[in-house]
Amino acid sequence: MKSRFLIVFGIGAALLAYAVLPAGCPPVTTPPTTGNTGLTGKYIGSETCGACHASIHTNWAGTLHATALEALEAIGQGSNAECLPCHTVGFGQEGGFVDRQTTNLLAGVGCEDCHGAAKDHVQNVGDPSFYPNVTIAASLCGTCHTDTHHPNFDQWKESGHAEVTEDPAEEFSAGARLNTCGVCHSGDFRFESVIRGQTVADNALNGVAPKDMNAVTCAICHDPHKQTGNAAAPVTGQDYQLRYSEVKSPAPKHTVADITNVERYNLCGQCHHDRGRVWTETSRPTHHSNQSNVYIGEMPVPDGESLLVLSRVSVHSFAPAQCATCHMYRQPFQSEENPTISGHLFSVNTKACAASGCHPSVAAAKAAKVTLQAEIEGLMDDITSRLGAASTWEYVSEGGPADQTTVSDDVKKIRFLYHFVLSDGSRGVHNPAYVRSILEEAQALLTANGM
């Protein structure tokens, strides 16, 4: 291994190229434009890493990271010292990129930008103390994906994805529930278990403070090493390197097995899908993750039973990038007063409603949203008012009776329908017609029971 490193590392002395000219013309030498005579420090370049990590290197070579310096050169900024630290390997550091003529193997965003200088590792392959750094911390990506021109990290930090939800975080820290809740609430667990396919002990985060846990970081949704083709309609030249398809349109299903099958759902639906609780359960309501199911127009029912509410296709099913259309609206940099919007807050931006052509204007979209949500809130308030004191009808976890046999089947259906809408959190926006149908069915059951 060491000899192979020396061979690869030694390649790169600039060669003179001779032009083929007509007879009688003196030969003219073309000065070298690239070379690696200055590659003498701790950085070795991604090509050397590729000698052992061939498949990763091949995939990386197809990403925009690999051609990051070319992107600068295309706009005449190839020697801009303010830009080069994020478009090359080790610029400004000892042994890092200097220029194309002397350190060309360090052009672009390479392996060592994320994993650290690799010379010691390559010369001591069997020594774990020199293994490259591997982390899913968003702060690593945030080294470059920041500021008013590309504030992905800055906006992500303000989002709900940046921190592990409080309740499961406390459980993880106590050494419990990691294999149950960590799939979506722990980036550390999801990366090792789901993405890398490793077995992770339930107490793997025992004693780790919640603030030191990784939540839904960049590497959970994006593959850092390759283009995937999973984006629905990326900007020309982009790919976004999404781990799962941005758009999927499954037919509505109603069995618990189908509802909990993540292969049916798009990228966001990998976590934002129902956990399969049905109306007959008494301990707790629908998990706050059924957004994909409301959008699709489906809900789980006990095996062999008929639907509580017929499926209704969402009017938003035509949104070009589904969830990302509204929750990841992007806008290019215009000025310091109007900086880039990266979409990584994941909050709804009604500019998307107009930009997608679904609504005639932002004002119209906002008005429609306010009107719909007020209607849905009114229907939900009516249901809880008619049901009366929560202690007589709610789930045990929500303050309902400990003896759930005192709650009739129809009331169990009503509260299930109510919580199914409540857990979605959009107050009808994800699928207006379907949500109306759900609440109207709940009201019909109330009326049938004289409430």
pLDDT tens, 101-137? Answer: 999 999 999 999 999 999 999 999 999 999 999 999 9
Does any domain span residue 300?
A: yes
**pLDDT of 5 over the 60 cut:** no
Does any domain span residue 222?
A: no
Answer yes or no: do 182 and 115 share one domain.
no
Confidence of residue 13 (pLDDT cuts 50, 70, 90): very low
Q: Compute the half-sphere exposure of residue 174: CA atoms within 13 Å on the CB side of its CA.
A: 8
Answer yes or no: do 301 and 384 share one domain.
yes
CATH of the domain at 119: 1.10.1130.10
Answer yes or no: do 172 and 298 share one domain.
no
pTM of full prediction above 0.95: no
pLDDT at res. 336: 87
Domain span at residue 403 reads 256-319+360-448
Answer yes or no: do 96 and 195 share one domain.
no
Does any domain span residue 326?
A: no
Mean pLDDT over residues 12-38, rounded?
49
pLDDT tens-digit profile of 334-372?
888 888 999 999 999 999 999 888 899 999 999 999 999
Answer yes or no: do 386 and 264 share one domain.
yes
**pLDDT of 15 over the 50 cut:** no
Q: Which of 202, 203, 303 is nearest to 257 (CA)?
A: 303
Mean pLDDT over residues 203-211, rounded?
97
- Mean pLDDT for the chain? 92
Mean pLDDT over residues 312-321, rounded?
92
Task: Choose the weakest-confidence range: 30-34, 209-213, 234-238.
Answer: 30-34
Answer yes or no: do 394 and 267 share one domain.
yes
Does any domain span residue 150?
A: no
Does any domain span residue 176?
A: yes
Does any domain span residue 426?
A: yes
Mean pLDDT over residues 173-202, rounded?
97
Does any domain span residue 328?
A: no
pLDDT at res. 352: 92
126: burial class by Cβ within 10 Å (0-12, 13-18, 19+)? Answer: exposed
Q: How far apart are CA 409 and CA 142, in angstroms?
A: 52
Number of domains in the chain: 3
Does any domain span residue 376?
A: yes
